Amino acid sequence: MKLHSLLLACLFSLPHIQAQKAEPPATDKEWVLFDGKSLDDWETVDIGASGTVEQEDDTVIINQGDSLSGLVYKKAAELPATNYEITLQAKRLQGVDFFCGLTFPVGDIKTCATLVCGGWGGSVTGISNIDGQDAANNSTGTYQRYEDDKWYHFRLRVTPENISVWLDDKKIIDQDLKDRKISLRPGLIESYAPLALSTYCTTAAIKNIRLKAVK
């Protein structure tokens, strides 16, 4: 009788155990922001004389405009605003300024910054803005050598305490957020909040855009 009761208890608890195993932890959650098939989740932003945006196979092409060109992710409110990583690949096809401007939220979608890759003549890489200073004038800014038509892998991590960036396998930004003011550079880039990709007077190719939750 005791054995029979034990078997019944195991059978009733098995679906619950399986359900628990089937549900992945929140930190494993990942979003494919561009699947290489459609730009339906993105909206092109034309601030006046911006370049066109098009899809070419599995790649987003942001064509050169007179200043900023790019596109905004329409479902940013459904994504984490902290404890996340964004990864993507980008390359400059034409132009001499930044080929990957990744605007992203920091803590909430009303507080944003931009990772500028290849700005101010083609090499400055950093976060705009920290304490009111853009990437060319704050401690995150470094000079990186970028070759045209060469893919580079970028990884951005945002936590409540820190913003970190890797270029390929090299960590190039490690910014503590304590007592720091995060904001967008005043001006045209404000049209690309809260989550966007942009270029400045440059044609770029971008692909494999993903976001995942992290601890």
CATH number assigned to the domain comprising residue 138: 2.60.120.560
pLDDT number for residue 110: 97
pLDDT per residue as tens digits for the range 15-53: 444 434 443 344 469 999 998 999 999 999 999 999 999
CA distance 161 to 155: 17
pTM higher than 0.85 = yes
Per the domain annotation, does 151 fall within a domain? yes
Per the domain annotation, does 5 fall within a domain? no
Q: Which two tokens stand for residue 150?
A: 């060469």
Per the domain annotation, does 62 fall within a domain? yes
Per the domain annotation, does 129 fall within a domain? yes
**3-class secondary structure, 165:** strand
Full residue range of the structural domain in which residue 134 is found: 29-213
Number of domains in the chain: 1
Per the domain annotation, does 1 fall within a domain? no
CA distance 93 to 101: 15
Per the domain annotation, does 9 fall within a domain? no
pLDDT per residue as tens digits for the range 109-135: 999 999 999 999 999 999 999 999 999
Number of neighbouring beta carbons within 10 Å of residue 110: 10
Per the domain annotation, does 117 fall within a domain? yes
pLDDT number for residue 215: 86
